[in-house]
């Protein structure tokens, strides 16, 4: 599914794409393949992954089926020799490199204390160092091209402390990619190499998001990013450089008037999950915001918010809704560290016995600990704010088992009419 028409401008061009065996990287590769481009699939996955579909070889087959030429290369972007070898093979096979897409990335949305140094190093070595390394080694060949681009899949440099406070290690690693754009776009101007960044407005339905949240119904398809990347890579690099573009804006500029087909679930087109590093939640609809306001108004009118606060009332309703079937399906213990006006610690045990909930820490060690403001907490348990949405927007911090934390979403659907 593509809404930006292919023009043939990338025919015969050679793209070196990191992390192109699946997800956004592969979508960009397939879009270029329709022009008859040459694509170097530079990724680690040579053998099928038990949970993630696609290898460099299956991606190469799809590229060639669409009319492109492919060169699958086993590349860990942390390894300088592997990157150099893949570049040498690309130049030998395709007589040069015109476009580098730095797509490979590692993610861990954890706070400082929860980020182990192995994960910190992985993110910085793949995101920042990998981008710098691939760019450094490709530049000598890009200088020989008359249509040279570097495109980094990285966010605008938003200096709001919020985006550092919720996952500082990941933010630093992604901003490292963006700083490469800021510096290299100016550095390589004399060589007519366009260096730009592209970032999604919303969550994109990739394997990473599915593993992270367990749900892609409020995401868009990777094709919105590949359409945007294609439009950017077709532009004249002599004049188009140093931009931090958002996919939605790019495809609109390219003539797409209705973005609905990009949504994984058209019913959620006005409730899409906003991606990180973007301050204005444009994709959360006015209707959605209004429903949150209606909840607060209704709660007050029905006297559901006692003098002691909303949260005791919420847990009273939750306690009445616990069933043996809910315990059996969930199998997790949650601790809630509530901040703000109704600060306190609460628990929900959906793992032991008949289940239990109430104030204070759980008797059994929690599988996941969730920290958030009391107002957001009330919205979440009223079904007005999804845990995945709250997490991605930085309104919810999670330590422990992320997958079990996201099980709350299914539980909340059953509570929606009772809380």
Q: Beta strand pairing status for 332-339 and 344-350?
A: antiparallel
Angle at 335 between CA 333 and CA 337, to 5 degrees: 170
- Rounded alpha-carbon distances, angstroms, from residue 58 to 43, 47, 211: 12, 10, 21
H/E segment holding residue 65: helix 56-65
Helix (H, G, I), strand (E, B) or coil at 344: strand
In 3D space, the residue among 228, 254, 244 whose CA is nearest the CA of residue 220 turns out to be: 228
Count other C-beta atoms under 10 Å from residue 383's C-beta.
17
For 212-226, the DSSP string reads: HHS--TTSB-THHHH
- Annotated active-site residue 120? The verdict is no
Sheet containing strand 69-74, edge to edge, reads 69-74, 38-43, 14-18, 99-102, 148-152, 193-199, 244-246
Angle at 60 between CA 49 and CA 68, to 5 degrees: 155
- Identified catalytic residue from 170, 175, 230, 262: 170
Burial of 1 (0-12, 13-18, 19+ CB in 10 A): exposed
Residue with tokens 């999950």: 273
Contacts of 191 (CB under 8 A, 6+ apart): 139, 142, 143, 148
Active site residues: 170
């Amino acid at each position: 599914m593509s809404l930006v028409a292919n023009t043939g401008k990338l025919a015969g061009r050679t793209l070196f794409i990191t992390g192109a065996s699946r997800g956004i990287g592969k979508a960009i590769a397939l879009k270029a393949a329709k022009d008859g481009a040459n694509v170097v699939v530079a990724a680690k996955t040579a053998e099928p992954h038990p949970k993630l579909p696609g290898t460099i070889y299956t991606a190469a087959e799809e590229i060639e089926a669409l009319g492109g030429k492919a060169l699958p290369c086993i590349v860990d972007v942390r390894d300088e020799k592997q990157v150099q070898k893949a570049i040498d093979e690309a130049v030998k096979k395709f007589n040069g490199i015109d476009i580098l897409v730095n797509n490979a990335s590692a993610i861990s949305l954890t706070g400082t204390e929860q980020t182990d140094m192995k994960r910190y190093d992985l993110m910085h070595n793949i995101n920042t160092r990998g981008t710098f390394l691939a760019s450094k080694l490709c530049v000598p060949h890009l200088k020989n091209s008359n249509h040279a681009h570097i495109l980094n899949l990285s966010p605008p440099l938003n200096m709001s402390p919020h985006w550092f406070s919720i996952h500082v290690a990941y933010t630093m690693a992604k901003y490292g990619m963006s700083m490469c754009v800021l510096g290299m776009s100016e550095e390589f101007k004399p060589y007519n190499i366009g260096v730009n960044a592209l970032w999604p407005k919303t969550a994109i339905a990739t394997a990473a998001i599915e593993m992270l949240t367990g749900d892609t119904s409020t995401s868009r398809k990777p094709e919105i990013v590949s359409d945007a990347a294609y439009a950017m890579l077709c532009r004249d690099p002599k004049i188009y450089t140093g931009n931090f573009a958002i996919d939605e804006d790019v495809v609109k500029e390219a003539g797409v008037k209705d973005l609905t087909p990009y949504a994984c679930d058209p019913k959620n087109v006005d409730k899409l999950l906003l991606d990180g590093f973007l301050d204005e939640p444009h994709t959360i609809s006015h209707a959605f915001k209004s429903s949150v306001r209606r909840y607060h108004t209704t709660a007050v009118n029905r006297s559901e918010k006692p003098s002691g606060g909303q949260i005791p009332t919420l847990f009273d309703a939750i306690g009445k809704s616990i069933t043996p079937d809910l315990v059996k399906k969930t199998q997790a213990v949650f601790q809630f560290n509530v901040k703000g006006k109704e600060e306190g610690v609460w628990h929900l045990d959906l793992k032991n016995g008949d289940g239990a909930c109430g104030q204070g820490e759980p008797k059994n060690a929690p599988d996941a600990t969730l920290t958030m403001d009391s107002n957001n907490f009330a919205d979440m348990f009223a079904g007005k704010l999804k845990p995945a949405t709250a997490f991605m927007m930085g309104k919810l911090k999670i330590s422990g088992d992320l997958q079990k934390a996201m099980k709350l979403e299914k539980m909340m659907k059953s509570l929606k009419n009772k809380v």
